[in-house]
Structure 1
Amino acid sequence: MHYEGLLDANAHAKRIEDFQLWLLLCKTLGTELIVVPSTFLPEGVTGDRIVLISDMREIADLAAQQQPVVRIAYEALCWGTFINTWEAAYELVCDVDRANFGTCLDAFNICGREFADPAAQDGRMLGAEKCLAASLERMRDVIDVKKVSLVQVADAERMRDPLVEGHSFHVDGQPTKMSWSRNARLFPGEEDKGAYLPVLDILRVITGQNGLGYDGWISSEIFSRTLVDPRPEVVEEHAQRAEISWAWMEKELGWTQKENTIKKVDGRSEDSSANSFGALRYLYRSVKGTFGA
């Protein structure tokens, strides 16, 4: 992360060096996709459009030189310094104008900018429902689904007490929504644990035939304080929660899969039927919040 807008040339060169390592990891692991989140550095960066475009073209061109070509999914973090909405990320993707440089639509971050406010008593920003509805209508009208490289899903806890100074999740100098993200994400459908974000509304627009009709990879990205539990059962417990969540989304959104056309490999599901919505593929990813975005 933090590839775009760095003012210090040496710092920029170091990030490019780090990116070369990620490209090597892609080749080693047999993957062709890297997610790049928007920078949230508070200083030492510029939002100059020409610089942002140039920096993103640089990593896109490096990725394009790989065999096979590596794709980049650029994600707007809702606490990003310059790029913090899906629209801003998509506009940058269009300006970068590279075939292997697309966007990542992240349901949590969309909600974090257009709906939720963990510092508010009810967990919502003013006019949350209208704001999100208008945003999703624009998404339906604006986005070319071919430029969507990845979709990430996560819900989150409604805070019992507003996440302000004095809250156990509060960190001085850290954006409130970042603290919320690192500690309190949930899998979609976990209302019994406090989930309250309108993730389904977002997914209907992204994956629905009356929306974008996206049928590519979906990653469930969960950062949570529960992942620092040292018990050996923790990984399996979260994997089980992920599977339950996926089944819930399938049911709620009408994602049908034909058993005889599905091949499951390493937690991934692929459907060979070209016209079936079962072609939707998924990957569950859980990372300790301490080290995540």
Structure 2
Amino acid sequence: MKVDRLVSIIMILLDKKRISAQELADMFEVSPRTIYRDIDTINMAGIPVYGASGVGGGFEIMQSYKIDRTVFSTADLSAILMGLSNLSSMIRGDEVVNALAKVKSFIPADRARDIELKVNQIYIDLSPWMGNRNIQPYLEIMKTALQESKLLSFDYSDRYGNKTTRTAEPYQLVLKGSHWYLQGYCRNRNDFRLFKLSRISSLQIQEDIFTPRAYQKPLLDFSDILAGMQKSIKIRIHKSVMDRVLDYCTYEHFLPDGEEHYTVDFPFIENEYYYNILFSFGDQCQCLEPPHIRTEMMRRAHNIAALYEN
């Protein structure tokens, strides 16, 4: 792509004192004429590139526009590399690899070791231990569709298992709570939808190119809505599930109950999702109050037991 080539040429000119048009043409496998046009574009963008003729001639950026590598502190470079390195573990592609290489070119030799140590202090891996093997290849297909503005077709299962065939215009990939989603305009529903990747199957990229419409960002922060819906219930848990309960509330909600148990003020909404959370703690969790939720837990537990009795 021309934009990628222009950025790369700028980085090369920042790194080298002078380079010829033929050298640049050989690097990018284009003609010298194309390089001259690229230099004109860079000049029009406000970056003054000077051309020297004769033996040893070539292009260079005026010294007053050179970027001093020391402009980035050790902390700055560590933060940038940390973000790019962790991003590369989730999204593969030449763009991230190239960006990493460019940032690393700014690292002075005398600071390389210190920066490497700081980058390795934090590692983020949001991929599941086990899970849907289609997620990674589907991400690559969706990235291509996003870059080329091509339609996607797929089968989609809702939370009850009902499957429908959809055609969607892709607009954004979203990573929320360790789950990937596609925000797209569904042509079957004539509206924007947030599709969970684990519910997608038979994904295909179409040859049809769509004209992007006014983009509607997905609503991802439900904190205020949940705060108005949640109420506190009291549960008694064994210490073995404490770390999992802490995913939903803070330690301030815990009160020691003997040597191995805690009573917890647990945020709760009366729906399937929250009842399933309580059941996920197994026999290490007991609902103490209110009585009607305790009764409902007993009813559901009896229904589960009946499945095995039969």
Say whether the fold is shared (TM-score over 0.5): no
User: Looking at both structures, which has the greater relative contact order when contacts are Cα pairs under 8 Å and sequence separation is at least 6?
Assistant: 1
Q: TM-score range by the shorter chain?
A: under 0.3
Larger Rg: 2
TM-score (norm 2): 0.23
Higher strand share goes to which structure? Answer: 2
